[in-house]
Structure 1
């Protein structure tokens, strides 16, 4: 894999992603010496926490201007100007103006919980279109909960990958009642396609937190936030066991790339065809929080 390409949802064009530390990632996941460093040091919690603390320091503000320029980040979307942040992490978890991410309010629609690139599988047992053949998504390993594994067996899987350039707060995809979050400790592998195409187990070996959103229109939606290399922490900002609204903030990731995984019950929703087709062709689709990704199959 020489570089990462994805489909721009707005234009339908095939684009190449700018990846900070691209050569480093290729070395870690595809070079024998890199793999040795990965399994002995890089995936460990200590490294990610150390870097997270470094990004919390006032000195880290010096990185903001270059980061914005190199990755073409549109700061007009942010509530606060670039010079108003106390650290790089403060900038990294920046809030956006409400009008920057309009929420699709079509009755029965399910919206993207985050900015990033999305893969969608109508049946999570059929992943060969993107991942190396022979791999399957293990619900038992991912959830470590037999009841939930049975509930979502045969259902749909959506994987939202947040790169460092992306807005790093995540939101609710529909109206409903949200459960408390269940934490599962794990490693800190990268979630870049350089890592996961041939190592799907990253999703159930990394640190993660999941919760269930009970909805009237789309069944029970399972939302899982997955940490990754250099992600300092996953912060949940919602109130457990409360009623929430579509587009309401759920939480945030501190520095690094990360992932939100969504599980949908079989027969309750229909994923948008363009996302399914792009995935079938082996490409992620760019997405913004609040954009529609699926529609209800339940009679309202």
Structure 2
């Protein structure tokens, strides 16, 4: 199953380079793989153990092959020389040169909180949230809070899927005051489209962290980071209840593909039409942290 997305800069349809594609095909498309997935791979101890290995000196041997197979642009990184990383996770969570992720300077613009591939929906039905075509989940199930879900009925939802090749730090999409992160326990399925087409209510079943963010231009919004297979940790680096600037770092994912979900209340933001149009057509749009995704609704 090939995965295609729209490159926002060029408008071209591109095929995604999938890390571990054959392994994922086996896990999510065969009976033996499914058994292995349910008995081992989705469980916390497997991802925790694998994550710990990525923090060892032995893991640094993987960096060169990882860079080559996924065509990672090292010129973006603050540290370009892979020999200077002591572990694989140190490379995976690498910081980028600020000049390579300029922030949209429009005062009332919403910026992307992460690099990735985005789906976007306006006027959401909280009882029929879209995972992929034919599969849905409820917002209350995702948030584990019925009252909070009701507050976002008719609002806007962004789902940003990070691939292993992407920059894995996530940021605040506006200035404002973030509350403390709330951990929601769960499993560790992949967030690759192969898994999204196979596992019902996947986002509601995986480990995730929820932050209520009182933004300066869009009111209260919800920021969720969803873990995935081999994501050893979701690390929050911000200080709760202190004002943050637009684009400042919120945290990072250790090894593995991951997802950031952003939710807005009704009539708070107008998303850019190209992203909405691509979603209707069934394509994710490739975006970079700091890019404009929409503007404050007047």
Give the C-alpha shift of residue 198 in structure 1. Answer: 4.4
What corresponds to 1:39 in structure 2? 38
Cα distance in 2, alignment partners of residues 197 and 12 from structure 1: 25
1:173 maps to 2:180? no
1:124 maps to 2:124? yes
Cα distance in 2, alignment partners of residues 200 and 82 from structure 1: 39
Deviations 1:249-296 (A, max 9, x none): 000000010000011111110111101110100111101000011110
What corresponds to 2:104 in structure 1? 104
What corresponds to 2:65 in structure 1? 66
Give the C-alpha shift of residue 127 in structure 1. Answer: 5.8
Contact 2:129 2:138 in 1 (8 A): no
Contact 2:112 2:293 in 1 (8 A): yes
Cα distance in 2, alignment partners of residues 231 and 68 from structure 1: 18
Cα distance in 1, alignment partners of residues 99 and 200 from structure 2: 36
What corresponds to 1:9 in structure 2? 8
What corresponds to 2:226 in structure 1? 226
Deviations 1:162-190 (A, max 9, x none): 11100000000001111110001110000
The residue matched to 1:203 in structure 2 has which SS? helix
Contact 2:155 2:264 in 1 (8 A): yes
Cα distance in 1, alignment partners of residues 11 and 253 from structure 2: 29
Give the C-alpha shift of residue 146 in structure 1. Answer: 2.2
Cα distance in 1, alignment partners of residues 37 and 198 from structure 2: 15
The residue matched to 1:242 in structure 2 has which SS? coil
Deviations 1:128-170 (A, max 9, x none): 6x7232x333111111112211111221111111111000000
Contact 1:5 1:15 in 2 (8 A): yes
Contact 2:221 2:262 in 1 (8 A): yes
Gaps of 5+ in 1: none
Contact 1:131 1:198 in 2 (8 A): no
What corresponds to 1:115 in structure 2? 115
What corresponds to 2:26 in structure 1? 27
Cα distance in 1, alignment partners of residues 230 and 60 from structure 2: 17
Cα distance in 2, alignment partners of residues 69 and 198 from structure 1: 29
RMSD: 1.3
What corresponds to 1:77 in structure 2? 76
The residue matched to 1:191 in structure 2 has which SS? coil
What corresponds to 1:279 in structure 2? 279
Cα distance in 2, alignment partners of residues 137 and 280 from structure 1: 18
Contact 1:132 1:198 in 2 (8 A): no
Cα distance in 1, alignment partners of residues 236 and 216 from structure 2: 23
Contact 1:44 1:187 in 2 (8 A): yes
Displacement over 4 Å in runs of 4+:
none
Deviations 1:176-219 (A, max 9, x none): 11111000111000000111134351101100001011123112
The total of aligned residue pairs comes to 295
The residue matched to 1:246 in structure 2 has which SS? coil
Cα distance in 2, alignment partners of residues 100 and 206 from structure 1: 31
Deviations 1:4-27 (A, max 9, x none): 000000000000000011121122
Cα distance in 1, alignment partners of residues 101 and 288 from structure 2: 7
Cα distance in 2, alignment partners of residues 28 and 49 from structure 1: 19
Give the C-alpha shift of residue 66 in structure 1. Answer: 1.3
What corresponds to 1:161 in structure 2? 161
Gaps of 5+ in 2: none
Contact 1:124 1:154 in 2 (8 A): yes
TM-score by length of 1: 0.95
